[in-house]
Amino acid sequence: MDRALPNPGPPVRPVHGGIKEEELRALGLRPEDCLDFSASVSPLGPPAGVAEAIAAVDLTAYPDPHCLALSEAIAGHHAVDGVTDGNVIVGNGSTEIIHLLTRAYIEQTPGAGSKAALLLTPTYGEYDGAVRISGGKVQTLIANRVSSGFAWDMGAAAELVAREKPALTFVCNPNNPTGVLLGRQELERLADAMAGVAGLLVVDEAYINLSERRGEADIVALAAQHGSVVTLRSMTKDYALTGLRLGYAVASAPVIERLAALQPDWSVNGLAQAAGVVALAADGYLERARAAVGASRECVVERLEATGIRCYPTEANFVLAQVGEAGGLRDQLARRGLFVRDCTSFGLPDCIRIGLRPVADCIRLTDAIAEEWSVRPD
Ligand SMILES: Cc1ncc(COP(=O)(O)O)c(C=O)c1O
């Protein structure tokens, strides 16, 4: 059943994907021997021109603290949604902006204001971590896996908002790790519920650009106008700028000003800013990335299901697969240099999440999973 859980306790660092040097050393592996399926980024790698743009950056100059050129490029990218550069804040990854949001709307909430945040779970761990670091109380609406395939009861979400009056509600769309996509109407309903309690709805669209159904769901236009909505985008993921760290938020000007007031100067480095401008101008890149994701998704799902492994339907560039004891399988694959995300930290200890890389890599991974699967203990 969907339910709300008050969840007090000290801040705990969230668990993330990505390959850690410490583990490589312990396994005796070199980075070039490994394939990372544990982070879900564009399978195409960075767009053409990014490497040259980075090489041309003057390393002796401070980066623009206001990221003006990049903010203008982002506004231009979303011009049809009515976005201007006053509706944009750029961050050192969208993760930085998640922390700015909890600082602005939870830590700095005066006096008797709400310190609660509602999370639609299972979801990205950084929301919980940021709320706790900001001294907030986490409440969750848990999606029912069995009866609704991880879809949330959105009526229950609106009721919870009315009752608990959270300062922030976080929704990830499509959701990490379940791949569930909410439609625009459901989000608008939640936005109205949050406006009714003077709270802010945060819709994290980190994976939406790589989703075929983004047109039914993205709420950038709403975020630019509706004072109670902010949307987050991750250029890290869209353009595989993973090592550079780049993300942004779109919201009404007062929300952007409140976040900007808390952001340290120069947190977005000059290489990331230059790369972002070039990436946004890369014609046809996202279309090609979505096509590559589609081909890899078909390959992974078909091959895993042929092995007898259930894959949940996904609208994102990753696949959630039910494999039994996820931690054990993850470690066996890691010994082969293949890194997937064990979903135990999401409360799904029987699932792994596979970020979709090019098809040849996916064949290598699914072959390895089939071999490990065939010798698993009953
Ligand atoms: C849902 C979601 N939002 C945000 C992020 C962070 O992205 P960024 O690299 O832009 O900080 C992640 C990373 O895994 C994510 O899964």
pLDDT digits (tens, 9 = 90+) for 307-345: 999 999 999 999 999 999 999 999 999 999 999 999 999
pLDDT digits (tens, 9 = 90+) for 143-179: 999 888 999 999 999 999 999 999 999 999 999 999 9
The residue whose CA has the least distance to atom 11 of ligand 1 is 93
Token pair 């996202």: residue: 286
Cβ 216 vs Cβ 185: under 8 Å: no
3-state secondary structure of 9: coil
- Ligand 1 mean position, distance from CA 157 (Å): 23
pLDDT band at 110 (very low <50, low <70, confident <90, very high): confident
Query: Per this entry, what is the length of the chain?
Result: 378
Q: Tell me what the mean pLDDT of segment 285-302 comes to.
A: 98
For 24-56, the DSSP string reads HHHHT--GGG-EE-SS---TT-SPTTHHHHHHT
Q: Dihedral sign, CA of 107, 109, 111, 114?
A: negative
- Ligand 1 mean position, distance from CA 235 (Å): 9
Q: Tell me what the mean pLDDT of segment 126-146 comes to.
A: 95
Task: Kindly list the distances between the CA atom of residue 203 and the CA atoms of 89, 120, 222, 330, in Å, as whole numbers in the listed order.
Answer: 15, 11, 11, 30
- Ligand 1 mean position, distance from CA 306 (Å): 31
pLDDT of residue 11: 65
Q: Is 125 in the pocket of ligand 1 (CB under 6 A)?
A: no
Which sequence spans correspond to the domains of the chain? 21-40+285-374, 53-280
pLDDT band at 5 (very low <50, low <70, confident <90, very high): very low
pLDDT band at 18 (very low <50, low <70, confident <90, very high): confident
pLDDT of residue 12: 73
- Rounded Cα gap, residues 74 and 68, in angstroms: 10
Q: Which of 236, 244, 339, 343 to mutate to test the pocket of ligand 1 (most atoms within 8 A of CB)?
A: 236
3-state secondary structure of 167: coil
Q: Is 234 in the pocket of ligand 1 (CB under 6 A)?
A: yes
CATH T-level assignment (fold) for domain 21-40+285-374: Aspartate Aminotransferase, domain 1 (3.90.1150)
**53-280: what CATH class?**
alpha beta
pLDDT band at 378 (very low <50, low <70, confident <90, very high): low
- Rounded Cα gap, residues 341 and 261, in angstroms: 35
Say yes or no to pLDDT of 116 above 50. Answer: yes
- Ligand 1 mean position, distance from CA 194 (Å): 23
Say yes or no to pLDDT of 250 above 90. Answer: yes
Q: Which of 16, 41, 94 to mutate to test the pocket of ligand 1 (most atoms within 8 A of CB)?
A: 94
Which pair of tokens denotes residue 41? 């980024």
Which pair of tokens denotes residue 61? 């100059």
- Rounded Cα gap, residues 160 and 305, in angstroms: 37
Say yes or no to pLDDT of 193 above 60. Answer: yes
pLDDT of residue 15: 86
- Ligand 1 mean position, distance from CA 94 (Å): 6
pTM confidence score: 0.95
Across the strands, what pairs with 171? 203
The residue whose CA has the least distance to atom 8 of ligand 1 is 93
Q: Is 209 in the pocket of ligand 1 (CB under 6 A)?
A: no
pLDDT of residue 1: 39
Q: Is 136 in the pocket of ligand 1 (CB under 6 A)?
A: no
Cβ 315 vs Cβ 290: under 8 Å: no
